[in-house]
Amino acid sequence: MSSVLLLNLAWQISTLALVALGLAIVFGKLRIMNMAHGEFVMIGAYAPVITSMLGLPGWLQLPVCLVTVGPVAFVLERTIIRHLYGRMFDSLLATWGIAILLREIVELIFGRGYQSVSPPIAGTVCVFGADYPAYRIAVIIGILLGFIGLYWWNTRSKTGTRIKAMVGNPNLAEAIGINTARLSAGAFVFGCCTAGLAGLILAPTVRIEPMMGLDYLIRSFFALVVGGLGSLEGLGIGSGIIAGTQTFLGAVASQTYGYLAVLTLSILFLWLKPNGVRSSSR
Amino acid sequence: MAYQIGLYLIYGIAAQGIGFLWGKTGVLPLGQALFFGIAAYVTAITLRAEGNLFLNLALAAIVLAVIAGFAFVLAALVFRGRNESGPYFSLITLALVMIAEQVAGTATSLTGGFNGMSGFNSLGNLDPFGGFYYVIVAATVAVSLFLFILNRLPVNLIAKAVLDNEPRMQLLGFPTHMIKGAAFAFSAMIAALAGGLFASHQGIVTPTSTGFALSAELVILTAVGGRFHVLGPLIGAVIVGWASTELRDSFPYWELLMAVVFILVVLKAPGGISELFEAAFRRVRPKTPTSAAPAVTAPETRFDKTPRPLRFEDVRLKIGVVRILNAVSFDTPATGIISVIGPNGAGKTSALNTITGNLSVTGGRIMLGEVRIDSRPPHTALSNGIGRKLQVPSVFFSLSVSENLAIAMMAGRLRMSDLFKPSTFQWRSKSLSDVLGHPSVPLKEEMTDPVEYLPQGHRQFLEYAMTVAAEPSILLLDEPCAGLSPDETALMTKLVQSYQSETSRLVIVIEHDMSIVEAISDKVLVLHLGKVLAFDDYDKVRQNPQVQAVYSGGTK
Amino acid sequence: MMKKTATLLSSVVLTMALGTMSVSADTKIGVLVPDSGPAGLFGPSTRNSAVLAAKQINANGGINGEQIELVFADVGVPPAEAAQAALRLWKGQGAEAFVGMHDSAVREALIGRFNGEVPYVYTPVYEGNSCADGLYITGETPSQQLEPVIPFLAEKEGVSKWYLIGHDYNWPRDTNALAKGFIADAGGEVVGEEYVPFTVGEFDSSLQRIKESGADAVLVTLVGGGSVGFNVSFAGFGLDDQAIRLGTLIEENTLAGIGADNANRLYSSSGYFSSIETDAAASFAADYSAAFGSDAPALNGLGQSAYEGLMLLAALTNKAGSLDVAAMDAAAEGTTWSTPRGDNTLMGRHMAQTIYLADGSGGAFNVVASFDNVPSSEACSN
């Protein structure tokens, strides 16, 4: 296996895990089948476009990203999503509508055209004897550190347990003093913000346009169900299987076979291991 | 104007299939264009070959059968061993349609690739907007009529019951995975019919006809039109189709508008437009309650009714690291009432779960007479004569009392042909009539009430009535008197005793109230920490020092 | 019940259609533009170009002495819906001829629906090999875009090892099948060929293969967002030093998405660029911005093709003397007309036209060569 293939695997797996992280919270914990997840990635990817349009310095990209994604997610949670807890298929339908809504709104503001964003780090570096884009190396390392931090926090924090308690029995959770409205809104907004962050990070390496979100949605769903809902390890394993299969088969056979293999694999996992390779519940 | 409406009717037909599946059984298909598209491609290939009409129709029947078979096997395999409809199956259908779309686009030699397959006339060389339009209208009417008729038949009630409470359906002996498989196969056939019409009407089939976008659109049409009504999806298809063609060219924000309308429908009117129509209609003409039809003697249940002893042989059950049952062995007589007692966590309910197959044993075996019954799917329990009442009443909450009883009457008796006979609704068995006919049982005044408004005690009696309706040879009752008033408790004990004495069958009751245990038990099984502490008649068990040690607090 | 609803609804539709039917004697031309879907990006510039063409045709006396009126329909939808939208214009609103800028699947559906009963000009870049009664094609075909360009690039850039990458559908496959011949003729070789599904958004493994193949030229037949994604990553991996890129569907919007940083040595071959510097092109661009403002949707080859299509329709109709398909088919061969693209001739129902090769380095197209009167290799007989 060539070192470029290894780096490609690392890049694809880590970025898929990052994109799917928000969905892991929203779908895995809140049980909202958020079909608008990709649209939050899309909005995040527009953050650098906004800063350069307004002539703001580059370091404001992250705040701009959070300030655009966060309130949008919060308003949607309070007006629409909060009616959908415990109604999984309804959540799928309503968020499909939300996805169209967000695409149309972004299109009204920025137009349908493609936007382009320059990476903050240009050029390639030599890693394991392969020339690889420096920005990608930085992102891989960043995501890895981020997930280690998240894992550490997750094992210590009670937030995950509280969310699980809330979804399992909202009335009881309320009775033992969990503010369910605040917790669910917080989890949803956090999930969407990580999606936006993923969009911001991916922006210099992909096309940016209102329809881009769909690319990320279905892969994220498959990564989650293959890995198993509700655990960080599951997210990592699922991303590894989905992105790994696509990248590996794309390299040794063809992209079409890679794509078909990912779908076939997803079907097999959904059929034979519906709770994923790793699962926190059950 | 046939060219306007024909396409919407075709989509409407496919959406009616989704409405049937999703509205009745709760299974949401996200890849229905798979069947639509395959049928469309096969139709296109056939029409290009220019065979005669008869051959084409024969081929169509074969294609429909193959598609139905595939859909049935797929759904039955995926749902086997599960008792809910989760998102897994929906995502599988989604992945399948994505594969189909990709293959249709890549296999250019077979399908014409992205540009599609074209250059053929419609079926029977009819004018797509003249003669063939009437074929479409006829198909729409036929599918709608068929669905209306299904609505009045037992299959409809069974589908609704699967959606309402799948575990209960399994304990009533219904193989729910096959029922869902059949419903999916039926919806797939409707989608395929629509796909065939589409190819013939359009004169071209492209990968979009078997794609994700069309699948999603069909679901949206169903949701907007209303999935609970036969005509809902059709109304959705016509209204959405018409509105979008009208608005697309005149109102630049029509997609925005559609998105908002769609969200509002999901949030405020989950039953869609047809539900709003129906509510308005009912205000003008309220539903007149239909008078109950006379009862019909039900056919005999189809399982072995000879009394047989139940034998646990070294049964072990481990879930995760927890040992629930630890080498449980006992041998019951073939008839009589056995009470199971023991402190909380003793493994009483788990023991019943291993008998009905809700839990698979991790060691040993359970024999009923000469038949090994452990670790089988729950829906096979009734065919061994095992009937079960759960600890928390498990009935069909969205259905009325009489519908609940009708389902229970079908358990163990239903043959394929009975599914399509309205008289099946009126079945009554002696055991059920005995319960309902008892002067103190409250249910007979509440036959048309929805079960969700019934008080807890009445639900207990309902579930008991449903369990004995099948006249099981082994009746498993898990705390039947929980939540009952003293009078109701006395009534329940009397019902259980008279069932046993009249049928001389085996009844196993989990009970905490020692006075009841004393009154009804032929033998008492004491479980403690997953082991048999004692198994004897009441007085001997009472004097057993180990039992006294466990129950040192008193009688309850 | 259903039939009743159907009749009721269709009568509503009928009344509405009749209500909107105007009584003027103008000739109505149906213009089919992609307002929605993946090509929706080109909807506005296509509409504007068509409006500009109609204005100029009417200023020059219309067609056959009648003023023309454009009626638009959105065809950025699947073929069934697109065909239905075209039928609305034809049967419902009385359009007598069509100009369409849409994908090939929609074209095939329309050919079946029109059935040679109404003239239809198809305008975008396409894969060739489409003939039907009443169908006239102005779009560039692969042979037009590649035959002069590949030898030119082989000469200018000294490239010989070509890698072919495209989306997995008809147009790229047909384009590459022709390209192989032109590459061989120019003394080059094909070192790799691959097709990527529309649904795959990353090109890492393809880029790795390109790198390992030692290619010094890449023929890109990816479309839209995929093309943007590919080209961004291509430059990100530093492959722009190794190989030139030639695209046959990289227009101004795609280049904007790729970005100036990533467009080094990126060539595009097309019948139109907004930066063509001929007088005709300059005055067209001036008219366009005068009519729609300076911040109007940017001109590009696809959008502008609607202008070409209407101009062909006017020239051909005036030559044939009617909008009758048989008469037009008979008159078609050898029709000549001039547009911002240059001097065009209809040969074998396809448009022989000037082909421009532009370099996108620096983020804007700079025309480096033009080839006059390039015929398509297509020949539809009458």
Give CA B300 to chain center in angstroms.
23
Query: At a CB cut-off of 8 Å and minimum separation 6, what does B455 contact?
Result: none
- Which tokens sit at C277? 């510097």
Helices A232-252 and A134-156: crossing angle in degrees, nearest 10, is: 150
What are the tens digits of pLDDT across the range B358-395? 999 998 999 998 889 988 999 999 988 999 999 888 99
Alpha carbon distance B269, B228 (integer Å): 12
For residue A115, list chain C residues with Cβ-Cβ distance below 8 A: 256-257
Q: Map tokens 């994109």 to a residue.
A: A19
Structural domain spans, chain A: 3-212
Element (H, E) at B510: strand B506-510
Phi, psi torsion values for B377, nearest 5 degrees: -60, 145
Alpha carbon distance C270, C247 (integer Å): 9
Which stretches in chain A have pLDDT values below 70? 1, 278-282
Q: What domains appear along chain C, each with residue ranges and CATH number?
A: 27-140+277-353 (3.40.50.2300), 143-270 (3.40.50.2300)
| pLDDT recorded at residue B289 | 63
Contact C197 B102 (CB under 8 A): yes
Mutate to test the interface with C, among B13, B114, B238 (most CBs of C within 10 A): B114
Strand partners for B205: B117
Which of these, A133, A125, A116, lies nearest to C262 by C-alpha position?
A116
Determine whether B556 is exposed, middle or buried from the number of CB atoms within 10 Å of its CB (0-12, 13-18, 19+).
Answer: exposed
Q: Is the pLDDT of residue C380 over 50?
A: yes
Q: Please, which pLDDT band fits residue C25 given cuts at 50, 70 and 90?
A: low
Contact B384, B472 (CB under 8 A): no
| pLDDT recorded at residue B182 | 95
- Pairing type for strands B427-428 and A124-127 reads unpaired
Which of these, C117, C90, C105, C112, lies nearest to C30 by C-alpha position?
C90
Q: Is the pLDDT of residue C19 over 60?
A: no
Three-state secondary-structure class, residue C370: strand
- Which tokens sit at B345? 């966590």
Taking CA atoms, C68 is separated from B31, B80, C96, C295, C310, in Å, by: 45, 65, 10, 27, 10
Taking the CA of residue C281 and the nearest CA in chain B, the distance in Å comes to 30
What are the tens digits of pLDDT across the range B298-319? 888 888 888 889 999 999 999 8
Contact A270 B260 (CB under 8 A): no
Phi, psi torsion values for C100, nearest 5 degrees: -125, 135
For residue A258, list chain C residues with Cβ-Cβ distance below 8 A: 200, 205
Average pLDDT over residues C189-210: 92
Taking CA atoms, B523 is separated from B310, B313, B353, B509, in Å, by: 13, 18, 20, 11
Is some CB atom of chain A closer than 8 A to the CB atom of C168?
yes
Phi, psi torsion values for B198, nearest 5 degrees: -60, -50
Count of C-beta atoms within a 10 Å radius of residue A56: 14
Alpha carbon distance B459, B474 (integer Å): 21
Three-state secondary-structure class, residue C205: helix
Contact B92 A271 (CB under 8 A): yes
Which of these, C146, C82, C154, lies nearest to C114 by C-alpha position?
C82
Contact C28, C93 (CB under 8 A): yes
Contact B400, B394 (CB under 8 A): no
Query: At a CB cut-off of 8 Å and minimum separation 6, what does B81 contact?
Result: B177, B377
Residue in chain A lying closest to B29 (CA): A89
Which of these, B269, B240, B271, B274, lies nearest to B257 by C-alpha position?
B240
For residue C199, list chain A residues with Cβ-Cβ distance below 8 A: 215, 259
CATH of B310-550, one of 3.30.390.10, 3.40.1410.10, 3.40.50.300, 3.40.250.10: 3.40.50.300
The dihedral built from the CA positions of residue A55, A58, A60 and A64, taken in this order, carries a sign that is positive
Q: Is the pLDDT of residue B555 over 80?
A: no
Alpha carbon distance A256, C197 (integer Å): 6
Alpha carbon distance C75, C39 (integer Å): 10
Contact B524, B348 (CB under 8 A): no
| pLDDT recorded at residue B549 | 84
Alpha carbon distance B519, B505 (integer Å): 18
Helices A3-23 and A180-202: crossing angle in degrees, nearest 10, is: 150
* N-term to C-term CA, chain A: 38
| pLDDT recorded at residue B52 | 78
Contact A4 C233 (CB under 8 A): no
Q: Is the pLDDT of residue C5 over 60?
A: no
What are the tens digits of pLDDT across the range B244-293? 888 877 787 888 888 998 999 999 888 888 888 888 888 887 776 666 67
- Which tokens sit at B504? 């001389």
Contact A44, A69 (CB under 8 A): yes
What are the tens digits of pLDDT across the range C140-155? 999 999 999 999 999 9
Phi, psi torsion values for B12, nearest 5 degrees: -60, -40
What are the tens digits of pLDDT across the range A1-49? 588 889 999 999 999 999 999 999 898 888 899 999 999 999 999 999 9
| pLDDT recorded at residue B448 | 83
Q: Please, which pLDDT band fits residue C22 given cuts at 50, 70 and 90?
A: very low
Determine whether C253 is exposed, middle or buried from the number of CB atoms within 10 Å of its CB (0-12, 13-18, 19+).
Answer: buried
Q: Please, which pLDDT band fits residue C23 given cuts at 50, 70 and 90?
A: very low
Is some CB atom of chain A closer than 8 A to the CB atom of C362?
no
Contact B410, B427 (CB under 8 A): yes
Q: Is the pLDDT of residue B8 over 50?
A: yes
Average pLDDT over residues C121-135: 94
| pLDDT recorded at residue C9 | 47
Contact C205 A247 (CB under 8 A): yes
Alpha carbon distance B340, B547 (integer Å): 13
Q: Is the pLDDT of residue C1 over 70?
A: no
| pLDDT recorded at residue A223 | 92
Contact B422, B415 (CB under 8 A): no
Contact B441, B499 (CB under 8 A): no
| pLDDT recorded at residue B1 | 59
Contact C229 A207 (CB under 8 A): yes
| pLDDT recorded at residue C28 | 95
Contact A124 C232 (CB under 8 A): no
Residue in chain B lying closest to A225 (CA): B88
Give CA A41 to chain center in angstroms.
7
| pLDDT recorded at residue C183 | 96
Three-state secondary-structure class, residue A230: coil
The dihedral built from the CA positions of residue B373, B378, B384 and B387, taken in this order, carries a sign that is positive
Contact A199, A117 (CB under 8 A): no
The dihedral built from the CA positions of residue C124, C130, C131 and C133, taken in this order, carries a sign that is negative
Average pLDDT over residues B476-490: 90
What are the tens digits of pLDDT across the range B23-76? 999 999 999 999 999 999 999 998 888 777 888 888 889 999 999 999 999 999
Q: Please, which pLDDT band fits residue B553 given cuts at 50, 70 and 90?
A: low
- Pairing type for strands B310-319 and B322-331 reads antiparallel
Q: Map tokens 């981020």 to a residue.
A: A146
- Pairing type for strands C266-270 and C336-339 reads unpaired
- Which tokens sit at A210? 């209102």
| pLDDT recorded at residue B2 | 60
- Single-letter amino acid code for the residue at A155: T
What are the tens digits of pLDDT across the range B190-230? 999 999 999 999 999 999 999 999 999 999 999 999 999 99
| pLDDT recorded at residue C382 | 64
* Burial readout C67-90 (b: 16 or more C-beta within 10 A, e: otherwise): ebbbbbbbbbbbbbbbbbbbbbbb
